[in-house]
Amino acid sequence: MAEVDETNTLVFQEDDHRTAYIFSPTDSAEHQAAPQNQNARPAKRRRTSKKGANAAEPDHEPQPQPQSDYHGGEADFPALFNGAESLDAVRLRRTTFETAWPVLSGRIQNVLRRANRKTLDEVALFMREAEDEAETAGGKIPAGFIITGPNIASQDLLFEQMAEGLSEATGAKVVRLRSAGAPNLKAVLKKIIRDATSRSADGGDDAEVSIGSDGRKYLNYDLEALHVFLAAHDSRRVIVAFEDSEAFDSGLLTDLIALFHSWHDRIHFSVLFGVATSVDLFQQRLLKATAQQLYGAQFDVVQADSVLESVFMGAVAGSQAALRLGPSLLQSLLERQKDQVAGVHTFISSLKYAYMCHFYANPLSVLLAEERLLTNELLQPQHLEAVRTLDSFKQHVEAAVDARQLSHAQSLLENDEYLVRQVLEQTQKRKDYMTQLLRSLHLITATGLHPGRFTDLYVSALADGIDLSSDVSPVLDSIRRLNPSQIIDLIHRLLAAISKGNPDLDLDGWEDQEESEELRSSLTEITDEVQALLDQSKLSGKPLKSKYSSQSKILRTTVVAQKVQLSHDTATLTEADKAFSTAVDNLTDLLSRFIHVDPIGSLFLHEAWVYDSKSPYRDVFVPRPATTFARALARPHDYLGCACCSKPDGGLACTFPTTSILYHLYLEAGALLNVADLWAAYYTLVGEESELALDERAALVRFYRGLAELRLMGFVKQSKKKADHVAKLKWL
Amino acid sequence: MARKSVTDQEPVARRTGRKRVDPYEVPDETPDEAPATKRRRGPNKPKPASVQSKAEKQAHVEDSAAEDEEGEHKLTNGVSQGDGDREEQETAQPVEEPTPVKKRLGRPPGSKNGGGGTPNGKTSTPSAARRKPAAAAETPLKLNGALNGIDTPSRRNFADRSARRKSARALIDRVVGDEISDEEEGIAREIYESSENDDDDNEQESPDERDEDHPTAATTPSKTPARRGRKPGTGTARKRSPTPPRDLPPQEPYFYHNKPGRAKTSNNTLSSLDLLTHDEYFSLLRQQQQQANQHADDVRFLQSLHAESFPQWAFELSQGFSACLYGYGSKRALIHQFAHHLSKTTGTHKSPPKIVIVNGYVPTTSIRDILTILHTAIVPPSTQRLAQGNPVAMTLTFLQTLTSLPSTTLYLLINSIDAPPLRKTSPQSILAQLASHPQIHLLCSADTPDFHLLWDSGLRSSFNFVFHDCTSFAPYEVDVVDEVHELLGRLARRAGGKDGVAFVLRSLPENAKSLFRLLVAEVLAMMDDGGGNNAGDGPGIEYRMLYNKAVEEFICSSEMAFRTLLKEFHDHQIITSHKDSIGTELLSLPFRKEELEGILEDLMS
């Protein structure tokens, strides 16, 4: 450890003992010059935290680059294909990412803002009315209680909007307070005055502020200053928003409210409370006298679930999303949303990270660039090779061979130009697929017969495709059970869906396109037919039923000799009923023909535009540090890859790093460790009789270091129960 | 032992055994379960409900009290059941109304053969007794044996039992409340263990009993075949090992280790070992570094692997994420390298990126210092200083300044964000606030395995972390000797040994030096007399005596002056004072004898 140690333990640099310092590359250029020997790479058992495992085949997985390569540009992506990727392709990947993500991010922000809009309007209305009622309410302070739910992570946006919206709607100054920034009354008042007067912070505890024309000076926590300021600006209202009101000291709240109340004749304060639990609980924390000075209303915020749903529709499923997330990744993202109380923001971060991974590490992601930028020169031989190693390419070729399109298959394999053409054609196919997918999903949701949420429907559509005629789908069954008027409603809904499209999904109506011609005309025909039958049956007074509905409805229960007999009544169908049944059959056939999607994994070249790798996501967002530590300490050769320590049985060897040996001994001990015994055990292991043959003092030096590290990592603490004992703190 | 013959009761006993969830027990596959239930459904049902509820109760009692007892002995299946049985009787008895003939199953101490000779213990509880007719018909002989050995409820037995129960309670209290003194605990433990030994004796005999049992068992053909078939299997079916199996979820070893009753550790101490001093530690370390370490290359290689991810991290930071590096080993060197990487790849020659590195592990780290440094990083220190004050207000001011310089991006690299100085909520929330600012990119390292408990979901979303496993195996930067001594309770706070003292004294007036010389000489003299034991701080000198001597030597003229001098020493932690049992104030020096001699030499020269 000669070199590393020298810098680490022995010769502590000046910097290392300072709390913080500004890094300057010239001073410490020699500080850490561990040579980067990248050429000699033995095969390592290493946890790859590398991104983009989805990228093509293992041999085309992005290899880390010699450093010189990425020192050139301004933080470019590293070149893939072992550095053989052309600079243009690298840049294109980056620009594609940089154009793709902001579009989505903008949409997401829109969705989030829209979700809060209703609450916002209500609050604004309340605040406006409160202004008028202020006199009649006997000087009480208007208070809005906003039930935000437990997810404090998503409150930020809400209050930001609230601040904007309210200052527009009521012309009041809005001040946002967080418990972390409000340690005491003085600090809070300072913040209120500073924010309301929009002044930059003045240094010093008791600095004075001068406000107004007369040049008088006020202490910066004196509300008089605010009063003068507001008078000068011809306004009297200030709205104070407590974002996480449960976290505020209740004494502080009481003081503040009392103070606001006493200033009520000069400044009109209103308050907003973000309440995570319930208003009742919150009220219990306030004094009665304080509570009586408030009069308020309660507002609910849209629940995280439905916000997630709309974000999902806009950002994941929507047609503007350039990159598709694969079903298994989506599934795990959604599960995490449910299992952990992770906010929508976590979901968005994960989404962004998926985009980053894809464009950063998958060379084929250039194919997502705009078509005009995709030139033949851009695609290097390496790209084509990468394409030829894809699973979907193999499937495609095999399918072609099976279908006797031998020349097609051969050209794909051998003719580069042909392949390039094919690859470029896929862009259109991808778009077609997406349109088909979204239309199908839209129609299914329009029927209103699919149980469950859109997210689940989407994920299953990606994973298994949509095939209404299969047994799994409940939609057709439900359609068959509908009665005639419901069928007509359904068809109207479908027609409306076709003409309107779905703005949430960015799906335009496709009424005027020829693909919809057949579907629409057939649907109209069926409606007419059913309508005619229905009219007829009304005249005759006989209810209209199909063979499906009649069977399911009539079930006879007979009790014979103490045994229950169930028998289906196969009621005879009239001519009209039969005609209706045919109409229903036609409808289901039609729908299953038009609502049909293949699983996304079956498409040629889907690897270029579908990201479905769970591992970087899991490693990066849901780390398991305990496991990592335990593994590093228990089996150091997993990381070090050294020959000396890898024993097949995972046993302990004296060549292990000291801390690792101690950790093994630590595992064997109970809740209390005798350090003397630990030392004895350690010394036996590395002492003179072992391979290492350390003398006592040398071993003791190592032992000290190991023990100190165990303590630093929080594994042991001092114990007073017995002399020279330490207590165990971690069970990993 | 009762169990041997109480065939009918066995299902009950076994059920109690099941209820006890013992993770270290290989689940006992009982092939004869079916026959057993069949037997229960036999003519001698209905089983009284009291047995059932008793079993229930038993399960609870055993969960808390009896489990540890079992954990410490290797029990074969049969024996543990017998034990459970016996236990059941014990706890059940107070609940039962007094039966005319008290049949206690446990053999009274002293009569060795009692239990062994009573293979038929059906008489033990009323429930079993009621079932007797059926079973007794088959083995009438054994009834006598049973009556022989067990029935006399000896006084001592009860006393033992209640003492044992009390001591068990005491042990539990100790584990829970940690308030019992050591002596008490010793007694409690003794009582507890002595009764365990009794059990031990019983259990050790049982194999023999079993052998004896075989011939007699053969005489009751209707029941024993199934039982006999099982016996050989039981030895292997539920074998216990003293160490739990390895791949258990972490909570299991936790409970295993924190069972009531103190974990047994030896009484060895490190007294025979000469602990290292700073000097020795560093000189030895230097020596060791001369020799090549077998893992140096591997560690360096690991580092280079991590270094390959630098562009990736930089990209993540640029996209508004914060990065957190975790894993065993110091990440300081890595972060430093990353700073180099950043300075090379981002920014231009005219405006290199602003990078601030924070060392969280430095004990004096405070959020104020960090903010001040950050501020000087973006604004030349000459023009404007960040006013000291409330950290929250400082943060606001700083962020406002930063926002007013939109072209500046600041990289904040924090070593050990989970180090004690930064562990509290307030620094973390300020750091989160910093991290959420678009112009600040934060990358930090974490050294403990449970660092993620630092942040609630609000903070976590402001940080917007991505985590990377950066196990480096590089040695942590810690003051090894001090850490270890503190861990062992041997650390006396002081000013860095001999040199520290010399340094302190150099800045003090002549009087102070003389006083310290006097003190050292006195203490050394006492050490030579052998007056001081080695525990703690060494021998102490009486305050009054030292004062008198100081006055004699004209070091000081009043107690006030004397106090002032001493206070100086106290402040630098080169003396310690404590009161002895009768309230005399004693002054002592937190140094070893050799060090004191060295100090004295320095002072005299």
Where residue B565 sits, what CATH number does that domain have? 1.10.10
Q: Does the domain at residues A625-728 carry the CATH identifier 2.40.128?
A: no
pLDDT of residue A550: 54
A668 Cβ contact partners less than 8 Å away, ≥ 6 residues apart: B243
Q: What distance in Å separates residue B467's CA from the closest CA in chain A?
A: 5
Strand A237-242 and strand A173-177: pairing?
A: parallel
Tokens of B380: 């030349």
Chain B residues within 8 A of A725 when measuring between CB atoms: 265
B327 and B230 fall within a common domain: no
Percentage of chain A modeled with pLDDT above 90:
1
Nearest CA in chain B to A45: B302
Answer yes or no: do B396 and B329 share one domain. yes
Q: Residue B243: what pLDDT?
A: 58
A271 bridge partner residues:
A143, A240
Quick one: B463 and B555 in the same domain?
no
Predicted local distance difference test score (pLDDT) of residue A345:
82
Q: Residue B180: inside a domain, yes or no?
A: no
Query: B445-472 pLDDT, tens per residue?
Result: 999 988 888 888 778 888 889 999 999 8
* Other CB atoms within 10 Å distance of the CB of residue A53: 17
Residues of A in contact with B289 (CB under 8 A): 1-2, 5-6, 10
CB < 8 Å to B457, chain A = 151-153, 341-343
Q: Is residue B568 part of a domain?
A: yes
| Candidate from A56-60, A317-321, A392-396, B345-349 with smallest mean pLDDT | A56-60
The answer to whether B208 contacts chain A (CB < 8 Å) is no
A125-177: pLDDT as tens digits? 888 887 776 656 567 888 889 888 777 667 777 888 888 888 887 778 888 88
pLDDT averaged over every residue in chain A: 78
Q: What distance in Å separates residue A363's CA from the closest CA in chain B?
A: 15
pLDDT band at B323; cut points 50, 70, 90:
very high
ipTM of the complex: 0.80
Contact A431, A587 (CB under 8 A): no
Q: Which of A187, A668, A716 sits opposite B393 (nearest CB)?
A: A187
Residue A179 vs residues A161, A242, A248, B204: alpha-carbon distances, Å: 19, 8, 5, 65
**Omega before residue A623 within 30° of 0, cis:** no
Asked if residue B207 and residue B76 are part of one domain, the reply reads yes
B442 plus B498 within the same structural domain? no
Give the gap in angstroms from C-alpha A356 to the nearest C-alpha of chain B: 8
Buried/exposed B450-464: b ≥16 CB within 10 Å, e otherwise: bbbebbebbbbbbbb
CB pair distance less than 8 Å for A183 and B483: no
- Bridge partners, residue A208, by sequence: A219
* Closest Cβ–Cβ partner in B376, B457, B481 for A704: B481
Contacts of B135 (CB under 8 A, 6+ apart): B5, B7, B8, B44, B120, B122, B223
Between CA A176 and CA B186 the distance in angstroms is 60
B194 has pLDDT over 70: no
CB pairs under 8 A between A and B: 359
Among A75, A360, A720, select the one facing B345 at the smallest CB separation.
A75
What would you report as the CA-atom Rg of chain B, rounded to the nearest whole angstrom? 36
Residues 631-690 of A with CB under 8 A from B: 632-633, 636, 639-642, 644, 655, 657, 659, 668-677, 679-680
The Cα-based distances of B157 to B166, B346, B439 in angstroms read 14, 82, 78
What is the rounded distance in angstroms from the CA atom of residue B438 to the CA atom of residue B475?
34
Q: What is the CATH number of domain A134-302?
A: 3.40.50.300
List, as ranges, residues 61-90 from A with C-beta within 8 Å of B: 64-65, 70-71, 74-75, 77-78
Q: Do A3 and B296 touch (CB under 8 A)?
A: yes
Q: Write out chain B residues lying below 8 Å of A71, CB-based.
A: 344-345
From the CA of A124, how many Å to the nearest CA of chain B? 26
Judge if B454 and B573 occupy the same domain: no
Average pLDDT of the residues in B533-538? 50
Q: Is B179 helix (H, G, I), strand (E, B) or coil?
A: coil
Q: Where are the domains of chain A?
A: 134-302, 476-594, 625-728
pLDDT tens per residue across span A66-78: 333 333 334 578 8
- Per DSSP, the three-state class of B414 is strand
Question: Is residue B36 situated within a structural domain?
Answer: yes
Q: Suggest the residue from B298, B313, B362 to mutate for an interface test with chain A (most A CBs closer than 10 A).
A: B298
Residues of B in contact with A360 (CB under 8 A): 312, 315
Residue B577 has phi, psi (to 5 degrees) of: -130, 145
Q: Which residue has the higher pLDDT, A136 or A227?
A: A227
Region B511-539 average pLDDT? 74
- Our measurement of the distance from residue A670's CA atom to the centroid of its chain's CA atoms, rounded to an integer in Å, reads 41
B188 within domain boundaries: no
| Cβ within 8 Å of A, B 404-433 | 413, 425-426, 429-430, 433
Within a domain: residue B276? no
In whole angstroms, how far apart are CA A32 and each of A8, A75, B369?
Answer: 9, 22, 25
User: Is the domain of B76 the same as that of B151?
Assistant: yes
Q: How confident is the model at residue B347 (pLDDT cuts 50, 70, 90)?
A: low
In this prediction, what percent of chain A has a pLDDT beyond 70? 82
User: Quick one: closest CA in B to A182, which residue?
Assistant: B392
Task: Give the DSSP H or E segment for A598.
Answer: none
Residue B167 lies in a domain: no
Is B480 a domain residue?
Answer: no
First to last CA, chain A: 28
More confident residue, A566 or B43: A566
The pLDDT tens digits for B60-99 are 444 444 444 443 444 334 333 444 444 444 444 444 444 4
How many whole angstroms separate alpha carbon B161 and alpha carbon B180?
21
Domain assignment of residue B141, yes or no:
yes
How many CB atoms are located within 10 Å of the residue B162 CB?
A: 10
* In the predicted structure, residue B319 carries a pLDDT above the cut 50: yes
- The reply to whether B302 and B450 lie within a common domain is yes
pLDDT at B326: 92
Beta bridge partners of A298: A145
Q: For residue A11, give both structure tokens.
A: 């010769």
Asked if A39 has any chain B CB less than 8 Å from its own CB, the reply is no
Residues B319 and B463 in one domain: yes
Question: Which residues have CB under 8 Å from B544's CB, separation 6+?
Answer: B584, B585
By residue range, what is the domain housing residue B375? 296-469
A8, A34, A628 member nearest B475 (Cβ): A8
Residue of B nearest to A353 (CA): B316
Give mean pLDDT, residues B223-250. Answer: 51
Which CATH number do you get for residue B349?
3.40.50.300
For testing contact with chain B, the best of A686, A710, A712, A726 (most B CBs within 10 A): A712
- pLDDT reported for residue A686: 84
The structural domain count of chain B equals 3
Task: Tell me if A134-302 shares its fold with A625-728.
Answer: no
Ramachandran area for residue B143 (φ above 0: left; ψ -120 to 50: alpha; else beta): alpha
By C-alpha distance, the chain A residue nearest B375 is: A22
- How far is the alpha carbon of B406 from chain A, nearest alpha carbon, in Å? 16
Q: Which residues of chain A make contact with B450, given a CB cutoff of 8 A?
A: 625-626, 714, 730
Residues B64 and B212 in one domain: yes
Residue B567 to residue B577: CA distance in whole angstroms: 11
Q: What is the pLDDT of residue B121?
A: 39
- Look at the block and give the residue holding tokens 């500073």: A194
Going by C-alpha positions, the residue among B43, B197, B229 that lies closest to residue B109 is B197
pLDDT band, residue A730 (cuts 50/70/90): confident
Q: Is B264 on the interface with A (CB under 8 A)?
A: yes
Co-location of B18 and B76 in the same domain = yes
